[in-house]
Amino acid sequence: MWLSRRRRARQFEETALPHLADVYRFARQLADEEQAQDLVQDTYLRAWKYFDSFQAGTNCRAWLFRILHNVWTDRFRQSRLELSLNEQSETAIEPYYDWEDEFMREELSAELEQALAQLPEAYRWAVLLADVEELSYQEIAQVMDCPIGTVMSRINRGRRTLARLLRATEQSEPQAEHKRSS
């Protein structure tokens, strides 16, 4: 019994702890620094508590993000309500008709972070899980506890909304420059 508990602790250190930086970076896109630290701490506490339910050989990062999602929804229940209202407008995939003109500059980090912050949280979760964490749609559906169809539309809408916000930033910047110079 004691030996198996020792093994469990070592397994947790080897499997779950290495993803702490990823979980923190993700949490930082959802909350400020202090709240992000709390989210990570609660996530790992819960992960340790329920580590027996983790199936060895499956994606531990996806499992941790699922816990983070639960911790986050428990903590910010108001956001959950906001999601369910947005959910009603999620229907079809919007095709990428206007993506051949370049709207992305490589050095757009600050603007992109600002745009991300404006993105509805359900879209932000889906886009970050797909683009940054590179989870499959199936894994994202498990993390966010929703059907795959919803994941698809959230990723699609999230990316398109981000692009629109960035385009708006790009267009407003030259105008501001023009006003300053005139």
Partner 1 sequence: MDCKEFRESLDFYADGELAPEAEAAARLHLNECAACRRAEAELLRLRRALKRTVAQHQPPPELVRRVEALIGAHRPHRLWQRRISLPAPVFALLLVATLLVGLGVASLRRAPPGKQSASVQPEQKPPAPAPAPQGNLDLARFDHGERATIYKVRRTQAGDAQ
Contacting residues toward partner 1, per CB under 8 A? 2, 5-6, 9, 12-13, 17, 20-21, 24-26, 28-29, 33, 37, 40-41, 44-45, 48, 93, 95-97, 99-104, 106, 108-109, 112-113, 116, 127-128, 130-132, 136-137, 152, 155-156, 159, 162-163
Nearer to partner 1, 91 or 109 (CB): 109
Query: Structure tokens of 32?
Result: 């400020």
- Beta carbons of 106 and 145 less than 8 angstroms apart: no
Please say which residue, 87 or 94, places its beta carbon nearer to partner 1: 94
CA angle, 94 then 65 then 8, to 5°: 155
Dist CA 87 CA 91 (whole Å)? 8
Which phi and psi (to 5°) does residue 95 adopt? -65, 155
CB 2, min distance to partner 1, A: 6
Q: Shortest distance, CB of residue 181 to partner 1, whole angstroms?
A: 28
- Least distance (Å) between residue 145 CB and partner 1: 19
Q: Are 80 and 140 in contact (CB under 8 A)?
A: no
| Residue among 3 and 85 whose Cβ is closer to partner 1 | 3
CB of 76 to partner 1, least distance (A): 19
Contact yes or no for 39/75 (Cβ under 8 A): yes
